[in-house]
Amino acid sequence: MSHPPWPRGRRARTTAASAAVVLLAGILAPDVASAALDHGTARGTEAAASAAWGAAPSPATLTWGLGSAARQTATVANTGGVALTAMTYKVVMSNGLTLSTWSLAACATPWVAGLCNGGTGSAVGGTYRAGTTTTVTSTLVPPVGGSSYLQATASSVPALTVTMTLTITVAGRSQTRTPVVTNR
Amino acid sequence: MSQQDTPKKDHRVKMVLAAVFALAVALFTASAVYAGLTADASGTEQISSGTLSLVLSADAPSLGFSNTFPLMAPGDIDNVAVNVTNNGTLANGGSVSLAVTGDGLNALTNSATEGLTVAVTKCSQAWTFAPGSATCGGSSSLVLATTPVQSLSGGIALASSSLAPGGSVNHLLVSVGLYGTEITHNGVVPPGIQGQTATLTFTFSEAQRAGIVTNQ
């Protein structure tokens, strides 16, 4: 059996350095392996996507003035992906020198000739006067992907312009559907 | 070659043989002395190292991890029952710990007040599922109270979760919830927890028991 000749000069130094690296790796490797045994781990993943919740009136401002109709309507759309159980209206009436009052009602279907399925709909709050701000909660809510319908009625049409500005807020925990427990 | 050379040659041969013999005697003597100086005494000790092996599996009828909960609303719970088994030969250091990290940098996982939460309940036997609930037929204990994911990235010890070696099992119900009181005004979603997605990585880990000094 013949052996290759031992390399000379630079080649010999390279060979020696490589051998040293291999030896060092061999010495260190067991330490690394034993350190890894300090902990045992097991992993799993789970993904969650949150829904959005909310509702928006359109138009958000209703206006009365000389020549306007006493009844005005707005549509409230469910802008999120989760069912609502309630929502809060903030009704801001502008200032105006008028004795007129206003009422607000909601309906699950569009108002027809001032009626909600032949009735008066679901009252949202009580009587509103010019220059007031009222916050009221309603449980008549638009379904997911759908709308509900508002009608604001003035007791009499004011001579000067009065506006009703609607802001609808939906709070996550208290005004969204009953929580669901899902077992996987 | 003449007849007179023969005695001289025999003499030289004898001289060489005598020298070889003397050298052999000297080497034998030297080796005997060397052997005397390196006398050995030996014994054996057998060592076998222990193992740490934590295994995660579904606790049937649960499917285990790797699900997606779509359109999660505040208060919703995503229950996953898993078995955490110590398949190693070493006891762990007193408890199993759980770290939860989220891959998305959004409010679901990086908010301390709103977002995803995790709770873990341990059962002495496999969990059973019914629509809308998970039931432990044995004794159960809450090993991790509802905690925001944001607080779990560094890991936390699960109470009463120590596992003996050789296949001891923790039947754990991992409950992922969404806590949210965020308010939406006129349909405009605020920057927060709504409409976000996160993938949570649950890492169960055990540290080895403390080292033991044994005198034999």
What are the residue boundaries of the structural domains of chain B, listed by start?
Answer: 1-35, 54-182+198-208
Q: What is the distance of C-alpha B191 from the center of its chain?
A: 39
Number of neighbours of residue B28 by Cβ within 10 angstroms: 10
Number of domains forming the structure of chain A? 1
Q: Which residues of B touch A169 (CB under 8 A)?
A: 183-186
Element (H, E) at A10: helix A9-36
Q: What is the distance of C-alpha B22 from the center of its chain?
A: 68
Tens digits of residue pLDDT in B169-200: 999 999 999 999 999 999 999 999 999 999 99
* Greater model confidence, A61 or B2: A61
In whole angstroms, give the CA distance from residue A167 to residue B185.
7
Nearest to B149 by CA among B73, B200, B81: B200
| Category of B66 on φ-ψ map: left (φ > 0), alpha (ψ -120 to 50) or beta | left
Tens digits of residue pLDDT in A89-110: 999 999 988 999 999 999 999 9
Query: Smallest Cβ distance to B69: which of A49, A168, A178?
Result: A49
Query: Smallest Cβ distance to A44: which of B56, B134, B184?
Result: B56
pLDDT at position B6 is: 62
Is A24 a domain residue?
Answer: no
List the alpha helices (DSSP H) in chain B. 5-37, 107-110
To the question of domain B54-182+198-208 being in CATH 2.40.50, the answer is no
- Check CB contact under 8 Å for A41 and B64: no
Q: Which two tokens stand for residue A134?
A: 């009222």
Tens digits of residue pLDDT in B78-135: 999 999 999 999 888 888 999 999 987 899 999 989 999 999 999 999 999 999 999 9
Q: Is the ipTM of this complex over 0.85?
A: no
Is A35 a domain residue?
Answer: no
Query: Smallest Cβ distance to A44: which of B70, B82, B196?
Result: B82
Residue A101, domain CATH: 2.60.120
Is A18 a domain residue?
Answer: no
Give the position of tokens 């009052």: A101
Is A45 a domain residue?
Answer: no
Asked whether residue A180 carries a pLDDT value surpassing 50, the answer given is yes
Is A73 a domain residue?
Answer: yes
DSSP A134: E
pLDDT at position A31 is: 36
Tell me if chain A has a CB within 8 Å of the CB of B102: no
- Check CB contact under 8 Å for B181 and A43: no
Q: Which residues of A touch B74 (CB under 8 A)?
A: 172-173, 176, 179
Q: Which residues of B touch A42 (CB under 8 A)?
A: 54-56, 84, 203-205
Its pTM stands at: 0.76
* Beta strand residue intervals within B9-139, DSSP E: 54-58, 68-72, 77-86, 92-102, 115-123, 127-130, 133-136
pLDDT-derived band at A11, boundaries 50, 70, 90: low
In whole angstroms, give the CA distance from residue B144 to residue B141.
9
DSSP A162: E
Query: Smallest Cβ distance to B201: which of A40, A45, A55?
Result: A45
pLDDT at position A29 is: 40
C-alpha dihedral over B152, B154, B160, B166, to 10 degrees? Answer: 120
What is the identity of the amino acid at A133?
A: T
Q: What is the distance of C-alpha B211 from the center of its chain?
A: 16
Tell me if chain B has a CB within 8 Å of the CB of A40: yes
A183: three-class secondary structure by DSSP = strand
- Check CB contact under 8 Å for B74 and A170: no
Range of the domain at A78: 55-169
